[in-house]
Amino acid sequence: MQAFLSKHHGLGNDFLVYNLAQGEPGAPWAELARLWCARTTGIGADGLLLLAVDGPRLSMRLLNADGTAAEMSGNGIRCLVQAAHHALGNGPGAVYEVDTDAGLRRAEVIGEPEGHTIQVRVDMGPVTDLGEPAGWAALECDPARPVRHVSLGNPHSVVGVEDVKLVDLARLGALVPHVNLEIIEPGPGPNDITMRVHERGAGITLACGTGACAAADVALAWGLVPRSAPEVTVHMDGGVARVRIGPDRTAVLAGPATWIGTVTVLT
């Protein structure tokens, strides 16, 4: 069976999107995710998104590059919305409800497109606290170092550091592969933080949308950003995302989604 994938990225966090209107493939999705997302022998991506479209109502299923399932992705949902937005021929201001394994999310296309890039604002739901994940002691964090474990439908561990560039993130992330590990430092501006991330199922990525929301919530709790800030600007290796955390700890994420191209595949 011949099918088509579109490839997109959100701040360098890249995804393949498969529209389920093409039908189900002959191979298991986990196997196809590993095959298609492989960097040297496949197309290359951090994950595979399965899209179903029912008017403005969408559904998203996410498989990481290693074939494991993930509940939610802030960059992925923007890429999925871009694929649906293009397929439906809608313009700026279009609003979509997206069913995910983390619950219903609302996404709005904001502003005019710039080339192959659109801006999408997503209601990401509440940030909630989690207990310490299994195996956390293996990281041997200094007890005085700030650490917080939170969820946006998927698990995150946020660690405060002096300089994110000096941390061996690949080694630490490999010790807790079942969580998304973010390291953060304040700045460069008063309402800004800088973040690097090791993602569950993908390794080090250039950006993480749910991680940006987790980091923004934690930065506000720790006083790295003043509570009076209208939003937190999160600087990642792939670029900048903007996060608003409400009084009830609900998160709103805004950032770009960029269309890269379309690929023909055999399934």
Q: Where are the domains of the chain?
A: 2-124+256-266, 128-254
Tens-of-pLDDT digits for all 267 residues of the chain? Answer: 788 999 999 999 999 999 999 998 888 999 999 999 999 999 999 999 999 999 889 999 999 999 999 999 999 999 999 999 999 999 999 999 999 999 999 999 999 999 999 999 999 999 999 999 999 999 999 888 999 999 999 999 999 999 999 999 999 999 999 999 999 999 999 999 999 999 999 999 999 999 999 999 999 999 999 999 999 999 999 999 999 999 999 999 999 999 999 999 877
In three-state secondary structure terms, 254 is strand
Q: Do 2-124+256-266 and 128-254 share a fold?
A: yes
Query: What is the CATH architecture of 128-254?
Result: Roll (3.10)
Calculate the CA dihedral of residues 199, 188, 11, 101 and round it to 10 degrees: 50
For residues 94 and 194, what is the distance between their CA atoms, to the nearest angstrom? 31
For residues 192 and 196, what is the distance between their CA atoms, to the nearest angstrom? 14
Contacts of 166 (CB under 8 A, 6+ apart): none
For residues 253 and 244, what is the distance between their CA atoms, to the nearest angstrom? 7
- Fold topology of 2-124+256-266: Diaminopimelate Epimerase; Chain A, domain 1 (3.10.310)
> Is the separation of the CB atoms in 17 and 80 below 8 Å?
yes
> Is the separation of the CB atoms in 92 and 62 below 8 Å?
no
Q: Please give the structure tokens belonging to residue 238.
A: 């792939």
Angle between helices 74-88 and 209-222 (to 10 degrees): 130
